[in-house]
Amino acid sequence: MKTIGLITIGQAPRTDVAPILEKYLKGRAALLQSGVLDGFTQAQVRSNYGPGEGEYVLTSRMADGSAAVVSRERIKSVLQGKIDAMEAAGITTILLLCTGEFPGLRTTRAHLIEPDRIIPPVVLALAGKRRLGLIGPLPEQEKHMNEKFAGAAADRGTDSGSDSGSGLPFASVSPYTGSEAEFRAAAEKLKGRADLIVLDCMGYVEQHRAWASSVGIPVVLSSALMGKLIAEMV
């Protein structure tokens, strides 16, 4: 059986998201999981990898289900080390379990799949002229998420579906601590401004999609989208 490497920027195993990927793989590939924060306590994560002013902020899941907030700049070398270790173990396909942007990651032979390079152009192509709205984990991620989708739109020679120059409508709710009420409120915030919502974090699961879509707007679940696409490569 083929093995796909799964690297989370939090801690492995990802018992929340891995089942979504496995659903679409249908037993045709196994997942070998590794985490950037494996072996660290929350206090150590805050001390070693907590974001400083102006740094690119990301959030992920610890093994106990709690959320960790980290700086992309501070975890990048550890993440690259995890990729290198998987390559050394003979893994030829590696999926990064994060929709954030990580410029400069490299492999020697393995195929590294980075969701930030795939999800925006795929969603924009599917959406056509429908207006997009974004839900992300943290308020401070709004600017980076808008830039990511705007960049994908520019590459395609189209706009991103925004009806103003202020970017795509955005709301935040954590996939790790958010309640049903918070997901409904986030989706309600986008109602009337978006015709399609993207849950732009690999940590969101089907329950979150159900809560957000209850306001009557279709919702794209990033983890499910990646699971469907990766299954086509096995």
Cβ atoms 60, 70 nearer than 8 A? yes
In Å, how far are 46, 122, 225 from 136, measured between CA atoms? 21, 18, 16
Of residues 5 and 151, which shows the higher confidence score?
Answer: 5
Q: What is the pLDDT of residues 152-200, one digit of tens each?
A: 777 666 666 665 456 899 999 999 999 999 999 999 999 999 999 999 9
What pLDDT sits at residue 161?
Answer: 64
State the average pLDDT for the chain.
95
Pairing of strands 57-61, 111-113: unpaired
Q: What is the pLDDT of residues 55-94, one digit of tens each?
A: 999 999 999 999 999 999 999 999 999 999 999 999 999 9
What pLDDT sits at residue 164?
Answer: 46
Task: Write out the two tokens for 140.
Answer: 């401070």
What pLDDT sits at residue 154?
Answer: 73
In Å, how far are 126, 159, 191 from 73, measured between CA atoms? 32, 30, 34
What pLDDT sits at residue 1?
Answer: 85
What pLDDT sits at residue 221?
Answer: 98
What pLDDT sits at residue 95?
Answer: 98
Q: Is 58 exposed, middle or buried (0-12, 13-18, 19+ CB in 10 A)?
A: buried
Cβ atoms 160, 168 nearer than 8 A? yes
Mean pLDDT of 99-111: 97
What pLDDT sits at residue 131?
Answer: 95
Task: Write out the two tokens for 126.
Answer: 């599917």
What pLDDT sits at residue 151?
Answer: 81
What pLDDT sits at residue 153?
Answer: 75
Amino acid at 67: A
With a pLDDT cut of 70, the percent of the chain lying above it is 95
> Cis ω on the peptide bond leading into residue 115 (within 30° of 0)?
no
Pairing of strands 196-199, 170-172: unpaired
The DSSP-derived string for 80-120 is HHHHHHHHHTT--EEEEE--S--TT---SSSEEE-HHHHHH
What pLDDT sits at residue 162?
Answer: 60
Q: What is the pLDDT of residues 220-229, one digit of tens each?
A: 999 999 999 9
Task: Write out the two tokens for 31.
Answer: 């997942």
